Amino acid sequence: MKKLGFGLMRLPYTEDKTWGNIDLEKTREMIDAYMEQGFSYFDTAWVYHGGFSERVFGELVAKRYPREKFQVTTKMPLWGKTDPADLQKTFDEQLKKCGVEYFDYYFLHALNRDVFATAEKLGAFEWMQEMKKQGKILHPGFSFHDDADALEMMLSKHPEVELVQLQINYIDWESDNVQSRKCYEICKRYGIPVSIMEPIKGGSLANIMPDAKKIFTDYNPNASAASWAVRYCASMDNILVVLSGMSNMEQLQDNMSYMKDFVPLNEEEQKCVQKATDLIKSTIAIPCTACRYCVDETNGGCPMNINIPRFFEIYNESKRYGVGPYKWHYNNAVKESGDPAGCIGCGNCQGHCPQKLEIIELLKEVAKTFA
């Protein structure tokens, strides 16, 4: 299996709501191009695109390609579940939406200490083993958003899992918050392969500051910044797949160009990445990955309709290049969604942030900066 996985969480957007604002035609073209080049791994989830990601997968992949030509992973949302019977109900609906009879990999979604406690109460790990016995899940696992101690605790209780999805990228590798390296090493010690999410850190490593970009282009003028981020991840051992949440054909073609016949980073290239990491880390103000869990309606959303990741992105850019050029973007974002100054501090967003960002305080800082 080739190591580039198609993450179905940032698909092309359209105003038409028929498929939950996903542009079906553009997505079909991307999926066909991906399959034509011999790639085969798709990653979706119940919550992606407000529930439409799984449907789109079923429509564009499962309906149109023989089952043996692709692998698919989806994820069980555990938030708010109290009845163990809900696991089966959700799962059966996922099989229907995705148009398959089994999932190659299946994750308990976004485990942290709290969600893990819910999973234990519901018997979710044991339930996955039952699904495995019935041939409906080939490889059970979980996606993870907490620190290394939490991961160690989970794997010590459930070493039977067969894949763990971790957030890894060259910026978060040594991060105190995300603890990518420590988590990766724990999986390796348990002999459990890893699938990597956020290799481009929500797209931010595709568009890096000019000085960092120069480090890469001086070494290879033809390679995109994104290619360095994805190859960095794919160069690790014990990796099943690196997921990229691609939003257009250009990103897909770029990713495929270096992942089709993948060559790991050499020593010199690793040094370039380290230099760029040091430079970029010295300028990131808010380490938001734009995952949008904080504003996702299936998580309750923001009652004031504040587009949190958009404001954090604007703020980060303003820290790098000055507030002036970003006032226009800020004012536009205020018009299109809610105003950060209007945050009522309900806290619904913070509980869903995998990066554990203090969103309420950060929004105050953003609003103050642009006041």
- From the CB of 323, what's the least distance to ligand SF4, in Å? 20
The window from 6-14, 250-258, 263-271, 344-352 that contacts ligand SF4 (CB under 6 A) reads 344-352
| Residue with smaller CB distance to ligand SF4, 3 or 201 | 201
| Residue with smaller CB distance to ligand SF4, 99 or 338 | 338
349 lines the binding site for ligand SF4 (CB under 6 A): yes
| Residue with smaller CB distance to ligand SF4, 44 or 355 | 355
Query: Residue 104 in 3-state DSSP?
Result: strand
| Residue with smaller CB distance to ligand SF4, 35 or 206 | 206
| Residue with smaller CB distance to ligand SF4, 253 or 337 | 337
The residue count of the chain comes to: 371
348 lines the binding site for ligand SF4 (CB under 6 A): yes
- From the CB of 304, what's the least distance to ligand SF4, in Å? 4
| Residue with smaller CB distance to ligand SF4, 72 or 362 | 362
* Window 161-190: contact mask with ligand SF4 (x via CB under 6 A): ------------------------------
Residues 98, 142: Cα–Cα separation, whole Å: 19
Residues 207, 317: Cα–Cα separation, whole Å: 11
Vertex 177: Cα angle to 326 and 107 (nearest 5): 100
| Residue with smaller CB distance to ligand SF4, 59 or 198 | 198
Query: Residue 159 in 3-state DSSP?
Result: coil
Gyration radius from the chain CA atoms: 20
Residues 154, 248: Cα–Cα separation, whole Å: 36
Residues 254, 295: Cα–Cα separation, whole Å: 29
**Two tokens, residue 4:** 């580039």
223 lines the binding site for ligand SF4 (CB under 6 A): no
- From the CB of 143, what's the least distance to ligand SF4, in Å? 14
Eight-class DSSP state of 11: P
- Candidate list 21, 360, 364, 369; residue touching ligand SF4; CB under 6 A: 360
In order, the DSSP letters of 179-205 are -HHHHHHHHHHHT--EEEE-TTTTTGG
Sites for ligand SF4 among residues 1-60 (CB under 6 A): none
- Candidate list 50, 159, 264, 345; residue touching ligand SF4; CB under 6 A: 345
- From the CB of 353, what's the least distance to ligand SF4, in Å? 3
Nearest to 248 by CA among 34, 18, 15: 34
Considering CB under 6 A, how many residues would be counted as binding ligand SF4? 28
What is the torsional sign of CA 213, 215, 216, 219?
positive
- Candidate list 359, 366, 367, 370; residue touching ligand SF4; CB under 6 A: 359
Please give the distance of CA 37 from its chain centroid, rounded to a whole number: 23
- Candidate list 96, 159, 344, 358; residue touching ligand SF4; CB under 6 A: 344
**Which helix or strand (DSSP H or E) is residue 129 part of?**
helix 124-133
Residues 163, 108: Cα–Cα separation, whole Å: 11
A 10 A CB-CB count for 180 gives 23
Read off the amino acid at residue 152: E
| Residue with smaller CB distance to ligand SF4, 97 or 352 | 352
Sites for ligand SF4 among residues 276-315 (CB under 6 A): 288-294, 302-304, 306, 308-309, 312
343 lines the binding site for ligand SF4 (CB under 6 A): yes
The window from 64-72, 107-115, 320-328, 355-363 that contacts ligand SF4 (CB under 6 A) reads 355-363
| Residue with smaller CB distance to ligand SF4, 117 or 344 | 344
Nearest to 84 by CA among 111, 51, 119: 119
What is the torsional sign of CA 203, 209, 212, 213?
positive
Read off the amino acid at residue 319: K
Residues that bind ligand SF4 (CB under 6 A): 288-294, 302-304, 306, 308-309, 312, 343-349, 352-353, 355, 357, 359-360, 363
